[in-house]
Amino acid sequence: MRTLYPFLALYRRHSGRIALGILLAILTLLASIGLLTLSGWFLAGSALAGAAGLFGFNYMLPAAGVRGAAITRTAGRWAERVVSHDATFRVLQHLRIHTFTRLLPLTPGIIARYRQAELLNRLVADVDTLDHLYLRVLSPLLSALVVIVVTVFGLSFLDNALALTLGAAMLAVLLLFPPLFYRAGRPLGQDLTRLRGQYRQQLSGWLQGNAELTVYGGLAHYRRQLDQTEAVWQSRQQGQSNLSALAQALLMLVTGLTVTLVFWLAAGEMENYPAPGAMIALFVFAALAAFEALGPVAGAFQHLGQVMASAARLSGIIDQRPTVTFPAAGPETADSAQVMITDLVFSYPGQAAAAVNQLSLAVPAGLHVAILGHTGSGKSTLLQLLTRAWDPQQGTISLNDKPISHWSEAALRSMISVVPQRIHLFSATLRDNLTLAAPGADDHQLVGMLHKTGLEKLLEGDGLNAWLGEGGRQLSGGEQRRIGIARALLHNGPLMLLDEPTEGLDAGTEQQILLLLRQHGAGKTLISVTHRLQGLDLMDRIYVMDQGQFIEQGTHQQLIAARGRYYRYHRPWVG
């Protein structure tokens, strides 16, 4: 149960709505009990009064009571559904935000250990499962407890013994059924949570690797594994359904036995009442209606095992300490940026070879530097170290003569404009995707930047309100790349870090973007990593990187004259 405590704290944020939802559930249940109890008494009393009752039996008051209870039950059920669902969605919203907020600082040092499908499953499915805690556990239990107390209290005015008998039977169900079915359902819940995650990971792998599996003949084998996992998952779901059916069957049996007992006792207790038959009907129908409150309780705790397993899976990730931490305060931002890297060494976890090895680099403010090298030479790793996605094992990185480990995260992010190798677009409008980098930018600035980056066609139709869809799927790779560049230019930090900024662009667009970057970057410090040769002659300095080290450096003319690696990149047929 301790695994649920951190998440229960998030529930307290919406305690008002949750309490109102439970209150409305109690009101609805009491109205239902009152409706059936009063109806039973009214019908029995009317039948006993017969034709003579037309003159002496009060039909109007009970009929009004029945109608009032029916209206209250209907309105209460509707209001309870509205309030409970609103509270649930708000809780889920905060659960997702809380989980994502805790996940974000773990990127990429700890997150890299998990597959994307597993992370998505925990962020979506496991968080969704936590809503069972309110809807299927807390609300039914608290509502049933209050209904028992109120029902016993109300019936005690008519007969203490019958009221206490009914209350004892209901309380026994409330105390025995939850722990009994929690123990029975806990292994099933844990298996369901594990198998759901396993199946989604396998399905994601099957879809993403379908082409490779087809080429190498592994598609049928992988599909069999997927089918086996699905079969076991369905068998556990069937087991949980069987357990739910057993809980309801036992509740029906207890309900029948209790109603029979109340009927038998009432027959003896009501002998001295003026209309004993009507009073017997009242207690019998009250017992039937009261057990309606225990319907959700019967199987409530069998879902608790699944909730706890999901909470444990989430806690297993979000409770980890980030590999990179930022101080609360540090150096203040500036209009210029100079970078100094000294004897930098970094190896990825689990890899013996260093991705960056004894590397040093000095970039004065305003200098434009290109780092050239083949895939795997350490270029992108160097940019990640500059943004503190990772911390090096040895060496130092300084920004404006201050170690970047001394900068607060907000200050460091405001100093740096980044064009990553992979552009992330969100299922939102074009405006929303641009203002992520510059929340204060107005529409005039956004439109101007789209024109500068050659994206004016995106303004056709809905303009900045155009919906990009999940991952910007309606855009080409080149358009996505230019949106990333537009973001970096809108952010307008004094240090620009570009990771393959012209990848996927045609020659004409590439020249346009390179010219734009040079014009916009005038006076800014710019570090661009690439394996492409276009535009390098415009750079102030070029570094050739291999195996985590700089093997050549100089201007374009100096490196061509040296006839080394850079020269061979330009003239691969030489040597």
Query: Which tens digit of pLDDT belongs to each residue from 241-264?
Result: 888 888 889 889 999 999 899 888
When pLDDT is averaged across residues 21-29 and rounded to a whole number, the result is: 91
Handedness of CA 546, 552, 557, 562 (dihedral sign): negative
pTM of the model: 0.73
Residue 391 pLDDT exceeds 70 = yes
CATH fold label, 339-570: Rossmann fold (3.40.50)
Look up the CATH superfamily of 2-318.
ABC transporter type 1, transmembrane domain (1.20.1560.10)
Cα of 283 vs its chain's centroid, Å = 48
Grouping H, G, I as helix, E, B as strand and the rest as coil, residue 269 is helix
Rounded CA separation 267/273 (Å): 11
Residue 573 pLDDT exceeds 60 = no
Handedness of CA 486, 488, 490, 494 (dihedral sign): negative
pLDDT tier at 333 (50, 70, 90 boundaries)? confident
Q: How far apart are the first and last CA of the chain?
A: 70
CB atoms closer than 10 angstroms to residue 325 = 11
Residue ranges, CATH 3.40.50.300, the chain: 339-570
When pLDDT is averaged across residues 438-467 and rounded to a whole number, the result is: 89
Asked if residue 448 lies in contact with residue 441, where contact means CB atoms within 8 angstroms, the answer is no
pLDDT digits (tens, 9 = 90+) for 291-306: 888 888 766 777 777 7
Q: Look-up: residue for tokens 């980030």?
A: 322
At residue 372, what is the residue type? Answer: L
The two tokens of residue 535 are 């535009």
- Predicted confidence at residue 394, as pLDDT, reads 92
Phi, psi dihedral angles at 328 (to 5 degrees): -70, -30
pLDDT digits (tens, 9 = 90+) for 269-294: 666 666 677 788 888 888 888 888 88
Cα of 132 vs its chain's centroid, Å = 15
Lowest-pLDDT range of 96-110, 336-350, 532-546: 96-110
- Predicted confidence at residue 475, as pLDDT, reads 82
The two tokens of residue 534 are 């276009």
Q: Write out the H or E segment, with its range, that includes residue 46.
A: helix 15-49
CB atoms closer than 10 angstroms to residue 467 = 11
Residue 51 pLDDT exceeds 60 = no
C-alpha neighbours within 13 Å on the C-beta side of residue 472: 21
Polymer length of the chain: 575
pLDDT tier at 527 (50, 70, 90 boundaries)? very high
pLDDT digits (tens, 9 = 90+) for 82-104: 998 888 888 888 888 888 888 88
Cβ-proximal residues to 221 (8 Å cutoff; 6+ apart), any chain: none
Q: Look-up: residue for tokens 């009073």?
A: 279
The two tokens of residue 369 are 């530097």
pLDDT digits (tens, 9 = 90+) for 461-517: 888 898 888 777 778 888 888 899 999 999 989 999 999 888 888 888 888 888 888
pLDDT tier at 382 (50, 70, 90 boundaries)? very high
- Predicted confidence at residue 274, as pLDDT, reads 61
pLDDT tier at 111 (50, 70, 90 boundaries)? confident
pLDDT tier at 194 (50, 70, 90 boundaries)? confident
Helices (H), strands (E): how many in the chain?
Answer: 22, 10
Single out the residue of 42, 143, 24 nearest to residue 85, CA to CA. 24
- Predicted confidence at residue 79, as pLDDT, reads 92
- Predicted confidence at residue 400, as pLDDT, reads 92
pLDDT digits (tens, 9 = 90+) for 26-38: 999 999 888 888 8
**Residue that wins the pLDDT comparison between 322 and 235:** 235
Strand order in the sheet with 416-419: 416-419, 495-499, 525-530, 368-372, 541-546, 549-554
Asked if residue 404 lies in contact with residue 383, where contact means CB atoms within 8 angstroms, the answer is no
Within 37-164, strands assigned E span none
Asked if residue 167 lies in contact with residue 284, where contact means CB atoms within 8 angstroms, the answer is no
Q: At what angle do helices 477-491 and 443-452 cross, to 10 degrees?
A: 130
Residue 327 pLDDT exceeds 60 = yes
Angle at 97 between CA 96 and CA 101, to 5 degrees: 115
- Predicted confidence at residue 489, as pLDDT, reads 92
Coarse DSSP helix, strand, coil percentages of the chain, rounded to the nearest 5 percent: 65, 10, 25
- Predicted confidence at residue 575, as pLDDT, reads 46
The two tokens of residue 126 are 């496991």
Residue 4 pLDDT exceeds 60 = yes
The two tokens of residue 449 are 């930047």
pLDDT digits (tens, 9 = 90+) for 392-414: 999 999 999 999 999 998 899 99
The two tokens of residue 484 are 């990333």
- Phi/psi-derived region of residue 466, left when phi > 0, alpha when psi is between -120 and 50, beta in every other case: beta
Share of the chain above pLDDT 90, in %: 24
Residue ranges, CATH 1.20.1560.10, the chain: 2-318
- Predicted confidence at residue 71, as pLDDT, reads 92
